[in-house]
């Protein structure tokens, strides 16, 4: 029997003072609290008495992606001969991953244990949680995918795009649905995020209950529904053996700002703008897109959509009834000149300064039908993702130079907020579910570590937080938790239409080529006499200019000649040994002279006597 956890008393008066309310117009209402009426009201939570079924089989929990990184969220829970997955995401490539379209997990473990897989459950419809599905189903038989309505629609659309709709079955679930096998029971709790239909997933196993949040925050003024805090509290009373929670904002103090505040500020900008409005945001932020379109309609502006990602998501939310604006309010980019500047709002891709996105092409004068004119207002309802800031600043400078009024998110005017819980919301989650053990997920290492510290500041016992890496296996058995045998969980790089992925050494070679170039070393040998029959040739591409580097070429030829002759004079010379000798001898010299590490490719021409 596990040790019980007792939560500190909760002061209701203090909690109420932190809550804001809004009227139907979105204006803030001041809530006054009668101190005398609430004064002594403090409630206590019951102690948890955890129960486990008699078993000597552990429940295994592990991630194929999503730990020590942001992206490719893919989590597995396994008991005996049953395995369920939670999410199957993709990670977008870093700038150095040349020629790579996406990064996905290594699915080897799932291929080997395919017969155990009972279902894949999706928490919400963002790419880092569903973007790997069309790769996954080509390698692994997934009997059924359960997803919320919007996510299910996005998944079906993607599978159809790749002609994979017959590879699996996609079914929808709602907050009150329950799914069960012999040993595993799954239920759901609605949470807040930047997309409709975001859920946490409760998985009940013989070794205790596991709750996975997916991406979440607690929005006290949501554009959609409120999070089901009552369900979370009920789960806490039943006993949560393991909490798996979103760590994206683990280093951010306070609360995440509510989405309604952002919409109010955007509304003010629409009211002030005299000319056309260009607005760019993340295509994944469905709630905001919906209300931006409604705000444009409110101020009598026709709406132009630029970018396939926006077109796709707007089509989906319209079909689901989240967007009730008539199609007559949307116009083509070629029809803009038929309206006055103050009658136009252009929703465009390009919030991260992507060179090929619509806003970047407009700023560069390369768009077929739209140019920036003085007096246009460009609103960035976003924040630069790490690594993209330079591209965004370059784009902002271009837009400003040609006369646009550029408005970015800033402390004095919040026009963007995160979809992830900050520290105070994370503390509230711990207070509600009171986990025995904790496995932070969805974050870099420092975020995961900080999240454990936050849990320990509330009610998590020291030593009960597990900062894990992809492939690490946490085993739960009869109230105890320990790290088990690792599973394969390397990153796989998807190149073009190649669904099998590229090895990391291929990406490394591309990176070297782009930065340090290539040197080909051509040697001609006689394998019968084990002799060089011609002087080695040095061919440089992108490493250094040969015509201006005669001394380096001459010394390189000498180094290669000596290295090859040394191998040829050995008892049993091989081509492999010759290639290795060329690389190991030439590479240090080139680095010493040019401070470069080019890719060295030995080419051996063999002439038999």
- Residue 451, marked binder: no
Mean pLDDT along residues 476-492:
94
Residue 284 marked in a binding site:
yes
Three-state secondary-structure class, residue 217: strand
Active site residue 420: yes
* pLDDT given at position 496: 63
The catalytic position among 5, 291, 322, 420 is 420
pLDDT at 69 over 90: yes
Cite the beta strand spans of 46-184 per DSSP E.
59-65, 74-79, 82-86, 102-105, 117-121, 145-147, 170-172, 178-180
Does the annotation place 418 within a ligand binding site? yes
Task: Encode pLDDT of 301-346 as tens digits.
Answer: 999 999 988 998 898 888 888 888 889 999 999 999 999 999 999 9
CA distance linking residue 27 with residue 353, whole number of Å: 33
User: Under 8 Å CB-to-CB from 519, ≥6 apart: which residues?
Assistant: 538, 539, 540, 541, 543, 586, 590, 598, 599, 600, 601
Cα–Cα distance measured from residue 277 to residue 266, given in angstroms and rounded to the nearest whole number: 11
Band of the pLDDT at 178, cuts 50, 70, 90?
very high
- Mean predicted confidence (pLDDT) in 281-285: 89
Q: Is residue 425 classed exposed, middle or buried when 0-12, 13-18 and 19+ CB atoms within 10 A define those classes?
A: buried
Task: Indicate which residue of 87, 106, 197, 246 is catalytic.
Answer: 246
Binding site annotation covers 215? yes
d(C-alpha 23, C-alpha 184), whole Å = 43
Alpha-carbon torsion, ordered 314, 317, 323, 326, to 10 deg: 50
Q: Which stretch of DSSP H or E encloses residue 556?
A: helix 550-568
pLDDT at position 424: 97
Checking if the pLDDT of 38 tops 60, the result is no
| pLDDT of 24 above 80 | no
In the beta sheet, which residues pair with residue 361?
none
Least confident of 15-29, 273-287, 324-338: 15-29
246 in active site:
yes
Query: What does the pLDDT average to over 208-235?
Result: 95
Distance CA 22, CA 9 (A): 28
Q: How far is CA 493 from the centre of its chain?
A: 15
- Gyration radius of the chain's alpha carbons: 29
Whether the Cβ atoms of residue 304 and residue 344 lie closer than 8 Å to each other: yes
Instruction: State residue 128's pLDDT score.
Output: 95
Structural contact between residues 278 and 377, judged by C-beta atoms closer than 8 angstroms: yes
Contact in structure between 441 and 75 (CB atoms under 8 Å): yes
Mean pLDDT for 384-399 is: 88
Residue 419 in marked binding region: yes
**Mean predicted lDDT score pLDDT of the chain:** 89
pLDDT category of residue 41 using cuts at 50, 70 and 90: very low
Joined tokens for residue 543: 């490493």
- pLDDT of 500 reads 56
273: annotated binding-site residue? no
pLDDT of residue 318: 87
Position 601 pLDDT exceeds 50? yes
Predicted confidence at residue 608, as pLDDT, reads: 67
Q: Could you give the CA distance from residue 268 to residue 264 in angstroms, rounded to a whole number?
A: 6
User: DSSP letters of 155-170?
Assistant: HHHHHHHTT-TTSS-E
Query: Of the ranges 114-118, 156-160, 302-306, 352-356, which one carries the lowest mean pLDDT score?
Result: 352-356
pLDDT for position 381: 96
- The domains found in the chain, sorted by start residue, are 53-255+419-500 (3.60.15.10), 259-408 (3.40.50.10710), 517-606 (3.10.20.580)
Over residues 517-572, the pLDDT tens digits come to 899 999 999 888 889 999 999 998 888 877 778 889 999 999 999 999 999 999 88
Q: How confident is the model at residue 139 (pLDDT cuts 50, 70, 90)?
A: very high
431 marked among binding-site residues:
no
**What average pLDDT does the segment 401-412 reach?**
94
Tell me if 416 is assigned to a ligand binding site.
yes
Confidence tier at 140 by pLDDT (50, 70, 90): very high
DSSP string, 31-79: PP--HHHHTT-EE-PPPP-----S-SSPEEEEEEESBSBSS--EEEEEE
Contacts 24+ apart (CB under 8 A), 410-414: 413/265, 414/257, 414/261, 414/262, 414/265
């Amino acid at each position: 029997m596990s040790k019980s956890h007792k939560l500190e008393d909760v002061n209701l008066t203090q909690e109420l003072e932190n809550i804001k309310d809004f009227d139907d117009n979105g204006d803030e209402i001041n809530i006054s609290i009668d101190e005398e009426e609430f004064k002594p009201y403090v409630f206590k939570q019951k102690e948890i008495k955890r129960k486990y079924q008699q078993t000597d089989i552990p429940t295994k929990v592990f991630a194929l992606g999503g730990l020590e990184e942001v992206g490719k969220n893919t989590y597995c829970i396994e008991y005996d001969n049953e395995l369920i997955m939670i999410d199957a995401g993709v990670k977008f490539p870093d700038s150095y991953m040349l020629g790579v379209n996406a990064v996905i997990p290594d699915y080897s473990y799932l291929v080997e244990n395919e017969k155990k897989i009972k279902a894949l459950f999706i928490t919400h419809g963002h790419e880092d949680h569903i973007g790997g599905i069309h790769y996954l189903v080509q390698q692994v038989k997934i009997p059924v995918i359960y997803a919320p309505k919007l996510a299910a629609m996005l998944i079906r659309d993607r599978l159809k795009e790749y002609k994979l709709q017959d590879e699996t079955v996609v079914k929808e679930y709602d907050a009150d649905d329950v799914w069960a096998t012999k040993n595993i029971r799954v239920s759901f709790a609605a949470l807040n995020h930047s997309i409709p239909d975001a859920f946490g997933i409760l998985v009940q196993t013989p070794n205790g209950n596991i709750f996975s949040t997916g991406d979440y925050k607690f929005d006290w003024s949501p554009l959609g529904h409120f999070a089901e805090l009552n369900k979370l509290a009920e789960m806490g009373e039943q006993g949560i053996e393991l909490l798996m929670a979103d760590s994206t904002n683990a280093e951010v103090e306070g609360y995440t700002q509510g989405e309604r505040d952002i919409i109010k500020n955007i509304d003010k900008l629409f009211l002030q703008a005299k000319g056309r409005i260009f607005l760019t945001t993340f295509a994944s932020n469905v709630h905001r897109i919906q209300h931006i379109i409604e705000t444009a309609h409110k101020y009598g502006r026709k709406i132009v959509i630029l970018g396939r990602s926006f077109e796709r998501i707007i089509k989906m939310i319209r079909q689901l009834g989240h967007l009730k604006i008539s199609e007559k309010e949307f116009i083509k980019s070629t029809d803009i000149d038929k309206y006055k500047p103050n009658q136009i709002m252009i929703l465009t891709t390009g919030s991260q300064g992507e060179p090929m996105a619509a806003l970047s092409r407009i700023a560069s004068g390369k768009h077929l039908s739209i140019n920036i004119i003085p007096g246009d207002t460009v609103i960035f309802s976003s924040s630069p993702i790490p690594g993209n800031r330079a591209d965004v600043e370059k784009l902002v400078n271009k837009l400003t130079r040609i006369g646009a009024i550029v408005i970015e998110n800033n402390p004095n005017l919040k026009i963007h907020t995160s979809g992830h819980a900050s520290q105070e919301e994370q503390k509230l989650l711990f207070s509600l579910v009171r986990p025995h053990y904790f496995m932070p997920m969805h974050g870099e290492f420092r975020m995961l570590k900080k999240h454990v510290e936050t849990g320990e500041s509330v009610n998590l016992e020291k030593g009960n937080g597990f900062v894990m890496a992809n492939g690490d296996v946490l085993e739960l058995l009869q109230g105890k938790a320990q790290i088990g045998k690792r599973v394969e969980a390397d990153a796989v790089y998807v190149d073009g239409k190649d669904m099998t992925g590229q090895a990391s050494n291929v990406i490394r070679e591309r990176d070297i080529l782009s930065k340090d170039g290539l040197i080909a070393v051509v040697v001609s040998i006689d394998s019968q006499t084990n002799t060089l029959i011609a002087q080695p040739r040095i061919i440089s591409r992108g490493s250094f200019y040969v015509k201006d580097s005669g001394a380096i070429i001459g010394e390189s030829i000498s180094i290669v000649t000596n290295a090859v002759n040394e191998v040829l004079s050995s008892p049993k010379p091989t081509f492999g040994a010759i290639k290795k000798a060329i690389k190991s001898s030439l590479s240090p010299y080139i680095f010493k002279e040019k401070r470069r590490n080019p890719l060295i490719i030995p080419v051996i021409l063999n002439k038999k006597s």
